[in-house]
Amino acid sequence: MTDPANKKKAGGGLQPTTGRGNHMGSGAAQEPTSSVALSIEQVHDQLKLDFTAPVPVGSYDGADQANENAEDRWRNWALREIAILAENGWDFTSDDVRQVVGEPDHPNRWGGVFLAARRAGLILPTGEVRPSTTPSRHGALVRVWRAA
């Protein structure tokens, strides 16, 4: 169901109406009626993510299963590398671990192994994210971790 304050564009997307007459007329660009502007600081405040907040029960079931089903050799090697990076006091991402231990048999194993390391008290998220350097991730954001 669409918001009645929006109208369909020719391409199928939604376009907010401005409340200034007919959109079907001259084709000239219309200015929005709202004059609300946000400062850079307000935008940054809205984009802050709290990676330390508790999550609902059951939210990690998939990650737990992925970790349980990982090959023992790969999981132990990844956990050992996470511990080494944390013990040395470095901030790091899954990309840093990936460079040493390589890819698991399934990409979902990454979440499971980092969750296990966090639960074991080895690491905590810093609250920062970085673009992934792994080509298959296409620059997706990854968490930055440090020693607990």
Predicted model pTM: 0.59
pLDDT band at 70 (very low <50, low <70, confident <90, very high): confident
Bridge partner list, 6: 16
User: At 109, phi and psi to the nearest 5?
Assistant: -65, -25
Which helix (H) or strand (E) segment holds residue 94: the answer is helix 94-101
Write down the pLDDT at residue 15: 45
Between 22-31, 49-58, 102-111, 128-137, the lowest mean confidence (pLDDT) is in 22-31
Domain presence at residue 14 = no
Domain presence at residue 10 = no
Please tell me which residue, 41 or 80, carries the higher pLDDT value. Answer: 80
Domain presence at residue 72 = yes
Write down the pLDDT at residue 108: 79
User: Is the pLDDT reported for residue 126 higher than 90?
Assistant: yes
Write down the pLDDT at residue 46: 67
Q: What counts of helices (H) and strands (E) characterise the chain?
A: 5, 4
Domain presence at residue 5 = no
* Tokens standing for residue 82: 């996470």
Parallel, antiparallel or unpaired: strands 123-131 and 14-16: unpaired
Domain presence at residue 84 = yes
Q: Domain range holding 84?
A: 61-147
Write down the pLDDT at residue 14: 42
Nearest CA to 113 out of 82, 85, 140, 134 is that of 82
Domain presence at residue 102 = yes
Nearest CA to 116 out of 56, 74, 49, 100 is that of 74
Write down the pLDDT at residue 96: 96
Domain presence at residue 86 = yes
- Number of structural domains in the chain: 1
Domain presence at residue 3 = no
